[in-house]
A and B are shown apart, each in its own frame.
Chain A
Amino acid sequence: MSSAAVAEQIPAAGEVRKSSLRFFRNPWRHPWFLEGFTWLYLIWSLAPIALAVLFSFNKGKSQATYQGLTWRWYWGDKVNSIWYNPQLHSAMFQTLKLSAVTTLIAVPIGVAFALGINRWRGFLPSSFNFLMILSFVVPELIFGVAMFFIFTQMPGLKDLGLGNWAEILGLVTWNVSWPAIIVQGRLVTIGKQYEEASADLGCTQFQTMRRVMLPLLIPAIFASAILVFSGVIDDFVIVDLLSSNASNTPMSVIIYSTQHGGNGGPALNALATVMLVLSFLVAGLGYLGYRIMTRGQRIDGQAALTAIAGAE
């Protein structure tokens, strides 16, 4: 028996029930249940982070109970704060260094690769494209293990050894697929007519690239640079496997190994908070930059947000 039939059979039902039934029968009603669920999810997903940030300002040594606010773990404590503890201090700069260098190498290679592979048709380019996308989905641990082996075993690369070089080469390989995939996606939507037009107007291939294609691709290149930079800040597996000593260990690995070693404390939360602020800064700059670069195009805030998160 449908709910409508039930409602008709109870003529004595009061106004309240009627209106609630009407509410449920309205096909365009607001899904309050779904909205509540979404809010619950968001609280579950973000409240722990907020608390972890709070603990980084904790007066005491506890990571579990709040004891008052202080800057102690940032610079107040002369031994254990992230500014004075040499290990934590160098980890911050190592992360920044790796992010910057990786972005500077991976983005040009990836963009050039995307342009070349997308326009050069044939078996060879498509199999290399296949390889590139494969490098995007292969589990990071498996890739990291393979990298670990070449830097500890392979003649030639073995002399380079684990450390800065291994980390950078590993991170570039792992991240070069971002620009390669994003720029190719953009090339597909741009189509070929701009290239053809510029060729008709007498541009050489190089001029077409420089004066026509690159400006059109700038937002995509920028978005992929943001993704690579923040991806390296967040990266853990590759740098964990390829770092060799305290001087080349970045933030994520320090947080992992210190907490796992049982020496956790609010200083780790402080380090993680620095990482968080850094990532949000990059994201904010990325969002603003993307909006500025796509002025005049039909790209709204939502498109910009998903673009710099790599979901476009």
Chain B
Amino acid sequence: MARTGPAVSPGQVEQVPGAGSRQRRGQKPYQPNKWFWVLLAAPGMIWLVVLFVVPFYAMLAIGEGKLDRQTESPVAVYNPFTWSSANFTNVWRDLFGSGAFAGDIAWRTIWYVAVASLLSLVIGYPAAYFVARFAGRRKGIFLVLLIAPFWISYMMRMLAWIDLLQTNGYVNKVLSFVGLGSPDWLGGHSYTVILGLVYGYIPYLILVLFAGLDRIDPSLIEAGRDLGLGRARTFLRVTLPLSRQPILTGMLITVLPMLGDYYTNTLLSGARDTSMIGNLIEGQLSTPSAGQGAILSLIVLLVLLVPMIYYVVQTNRASQVAS
């Protein structure tokens, strides 16, 4: 599931007065023993190596490994010099070759995620903007309502829509009352899947947007007004540029998990022609083609490496500026 993160951008970190004044009047500077820090960090570092780095190497080893013909299960090859590229060739052919079925799925994934994340932004930004800027004394109650979905399990939220969208559900009751017929929402439609994605991930986006917009100094906006800008132009020239960072972080924090989503469309459509990359990877796990699933995962990872590193660098820089 998506996780919001510290939505700090470099310029917005609080400066602690005196944090840099280490040496005063010839006193011996405070010099802690480095090994104490090493000891503290060691358990986490070992954990990360064994259970984060090694698993990804194992994934690579299985992806570049062989297939045991007898048990029909993939065999990991840990020595890079004996790697085979059979799985990679297969995946490449499925993605880009003639009659490639995975290529369609990849394009559909990109299409769904693009539409869903843009819709989330269009819906989420005004709501976050209102609560951050105009809610006044009612900010607390609005914030509780905005954050509430964050505490409601994803499955519960999907279940809620399954209940509503059934052929005899309340959405169709309203629609047929107005005379719009009763569509079969859960019968495998792209729009239902996109609705599910937007509904599922928008709370995380809104939280990041709110945190970012709330940090904008109101006096900057007042200055814009005082200098003669109208409402719309103040927004375009002051607020929007200042919210670029939260928008980028928020989109990242929703797009990354959406790309690995395989449950939303399974629950809301279940049809083959709405399946995404996530379904393809998950579906291959316990089969003889698990190796291809591994390669596919690695390709997704490789494609996402640039935005992920961007996020890491942003988070890192935020802490470096302040220290």
Q: Could you list which residues of chain A lie within 8 angstroms of chain B, going by C-beta atoms?
A: 27, 30-31, 34-35, 37-38, 41-42, 45-46, 48-49, 51-52, 55, 62-65, 109-110, 112-113, 115-120, 125-126, 128-143, 145-150, 153-154, 169-170, 172-173, 176, 180-182, 184-185, 188-193, 195-196, 199-200, 205-206, 209, 230-231, 233-237, 240-241, 251-252, 255-256, 259-260, 264, 268-269, 272-273, 275-276, 279-280, 282-283, 301-302, 305-306, 309-312
Give B48's nearest chain A residue, CB to CB: A131
Chain A CB within 8 A of B242 CB? no
Chain A CB within 8 A of B199 CB? yes
- Beyond A45-B199, A45-B202, is A195–B144 a contact (Cβ under 8 Å)? no
The answer to whether A46 and B148 touch across the interface, beta carbons within 8 angstroms, is: yes
* Residues in chain B near residue A136, CB distance under 8 A: 3, 5
The answer to whether B140 and A301 touch across the interface, beta carbons within 8 angstroms, is: yes
Q: Could you list which residues of chain B lie within 8 angstroms of chain A, going by C-beta atoms?
A: 1, 3-8, 13-14, 16, 18-19, 22, 27, 30, 32-34, 36-45, 47-48, 51-56, 58-59, 62, 74-76, 123-124, 126-127, 129-131, 134, 139-140, 142-157, 159-164, 166, 168-170, 199, 202-203, 207-208, 210-211, 214, 225, 230-231, 252-253, 256-257, 259-263, 266-267, 270, 278, 281-282, 285, 290, 293-294, 297, 300-301, 304, 308-309, 311-312, 315-316, 318-319, 322-323
- Beyond A64-B168, A116-B38, A311-B210, is A148–B285 a contact (Cβ under 8 Å)? yes
Smallest CB-CB A-B distances: 5 pairs: A116-B41, A113-B44, A141-B260, A116-B40, A139-B260
Cα separation A252 to B38 with both chains bound (whole Å): 38
Cα separation A274 to B295 with both chains bound (whole Å): 39
The answer to whether A46 and B149 touch across the interface, beta carbons within 8 angstroms, is: yes
The answer to whether A115 and B6 touch across the interface, beta carbons within 8 angstroms, is: no
Given A63-B159, A256-B267, list of 7 further CB < 8 A pairs? A27-B225, A49-B152, A52-B156, A65-B168, A185-B8, A188-B319, A188-B323
Cα separation A230 to B151 with both chains bound (whole Å): 7
Cα separation A195 to B231 with both chains bound (whole Å): 48
The answer to whether A149 and B160 touch across the interface, beta carbons within 8 angstroms, is: no
The answer to whether B40 and A115 touch across the interface, beta carbons within 8 angstroms, is: yes
From residue A305, how far is it (CB to closest CB) to chain B in Å?
6
Cα separation A252 to B152 with both chains bound (whole Å): 11
Give A66's nearest chain B residue, CB to CB: B170
Cα separation A130 to B267 with both chains bound (whole Å): 35
Cα separation A142 to B296 with both chains bound (whole Å): 9
The answer to whether A30 and B76 touch across the interface, beta carbons within 8 angstroms, is: no
Give A29's nearest chain B residue, CB to CB: B231
Cα separation A140 to B261 with both chains bound (whole Å): 9
Give A253's nearest chain B residue, CB to CB: B155
Q: Is the interface of A mostly helix, strand, loop or mixed?
A: helix
Chain A to chain B contacts (Cβ below 8 Å), 21 pairs: A30-B134, A34-B134, A37-B127, A38-B131, A48-B161, A51-B160, A112-B44, A117-B41, A119-B32, A120-B41, A130-B316, A137-B252, A142-B297, A142-B300, A142-B301, A149-B59, A153-B76, A176-B47, A176-B48, A231-B3, A301-B140
The answer to whether B13 and A181 touch across the interface, beta carbons within 8 angstroms, is: no
Contact of B36 among A48, A150, A206 (CB under 8 A): A206
* Residues in chain B near residue A310, CB distance under 8 A: 3-6, 207
* Residues in chain B near residue A311, CB distance under 8 A: 4, 6-7, 207-208, 210-211
